Structure 1
């Protein structure tokens, strides 16, 4: 592809190094901001950050156990990616690789019983029964690999693209904390960690809005 330079000469767009753009994105890893910089004819660097804080009440029920629940998810990362154009005929397709550092990457759930609990002649209130907290954390460095579609550097002022890829997170740590008669459930931490040890893939599907600078 050729374009006119400022002096009227025809030059290859591959030679337009040091192009820059700002990218706003939204998707499975929340909302984010990236700075894109072209360092080689077919290679660009992306430096950015994403965050996703979510919380919801009563998203699940436990059969035979009346309770309320609160679930939260928090993922905050900074990342550095390299975008490479592998095919001259498909210049809007890029392979993306790099790393993200997750300052916070966790999910948590608190379960509160709502009924009294009867054991023989003993009746315990929901406050005496207590509550239980489940916490899972993937904090740390995570490699990333994926594909991107669209031009990082708009021909005019603005364009749209999208990314499809995945992070490979660190092995998760799990904690179970209980109060009242539920305090003894903390002994199940090792079993919970074993059950979730392979939950390390964080898929990324995001829509990108690029602005030329």
Structure 2
């Protein structure tokens, strides 16, 4: 009888320990934060994103990046032997679908995915910085005219590949800082040039030059510093 009671007591203790450990494991699992909201700044603009942990190796991230530069002036910009005043406008609105792969237990990650650039363009207005004197003839800036150069990548889908340092979903603390480095492949933009005044005859000659120049801008760099909050 005593042996039965003793065996029952041992069985009860083992079961209790196992049950307690299961509760601890469940509680620990519940405490694991799998979501995060992040705010970033850098190239190609400001951003906000939502990140979700899929498993120990993969995260999925949905983001929105935006940037707007309006009437930014650069005076006396040197172009060959001449100087010009530049007026620059730029806009970027992009939606991102990204995946993080964590090959190690550290915070290093590989990132791949795509972005939809809904509205992405650059506009540069170039005009003489001063009146032009040719002998006894003086030509005003207005009469000399200006060049309007535009490049547009809007409605483009761009694959993305990059690396990251820091967790997209902070693990130990709710707040975390991370760095993303990578590139989007956008392809060549739709480019154009329009000229006024005395520069009008050169418009046709410069069109191919402008197109060839923008053909090199197929890759857009990504460099962002992000603050994330996990929950």
| TM-score w.r.t. length of structure 2 | 0.78
> Is the radius of gyration larger for structure 1 or structure 2?
2
Given that residues 74 and 85 in structure 2 are in contact (C-alpha distance below 8 angstroms), is that contact kept between their aligned partners in structure 1? yes
Task: Return the offset for 1:125.
Answer: 2.7
2:223 is the alignment partner of 1:205: yes
CA RMSD of aligned residues (A): 2.8
Residue 64 and residue 150 in structure 1: after superposition, are their counterparts in 2 closer, same or farther (change >3 A)?
closer
2:162 is the alignment partner of 1:146: yes
Partner Cα separation in structure 1 for residue 203 and residue 116 of structure 2: 29
Partner Cα separation in structure 2 for residue 211 and residue 123 of structure 1: 62
- 1:9 aligned counterpart, secondary structure: helix
Q: Deviations over 1:170-208 (max 9, x none)?
A: 212211111112123331212221233122111111111
Partner Cα separation in structure 2 for residue 81 and residue 114 of structure 1: 45
2:180 is the alignment partner of 1:195: no
Q: Deviations over 1:112-134 (max 9, x none)?
A: 22444456876543222221111
- 2:79 aligned counterpart, secondary structure: coil
Mapping of 1:45-194 within 5 angstroms? 45-55=60-70, 56-58=72-74, 60-87=77-104, 90-117=105-132, 123-139=138-154, 140-154=156-170, 155-187=172-204, 188-194=206-212
Residue 138 and residue 120 in structure 1: after superposition, are their counterparts in 2 closer, same or farther (change >3 A)?
same
- 1:40 aligned counterpart, secondary structure: coil
Partner Cα separation in structure 1 for residue 144 and residue 22 of structure 2: 76
Given that residues 43 and 85 in structure 1 are in contact (C-alpha distance below 8 angstroms), is that contact kept between their aligned partners in structure 2? yes
Q: Deviations over 1:138-177 (max 9, x none)?
A: 2211110001111222223211111111111121221111
Given that residues 18 and 37 in structure 1 are in contact (C-alpha distance below 8 angstroms), is that contact kept between their aligned partners in structure 2? no
- Give aligned pairs, total: 207
List runs of 5+ in structure 1 lacking aligned partners: none
Please state which structure has a larger fraction of its residues in helix: 2
Partner Cα separation in structure 1 for residue 28 and residue 110 of structure 2: 22
| TM-score w.r.t. length of structure 1 | 0.84
Task: Return the offset for 1:29.
Answer: 1.5
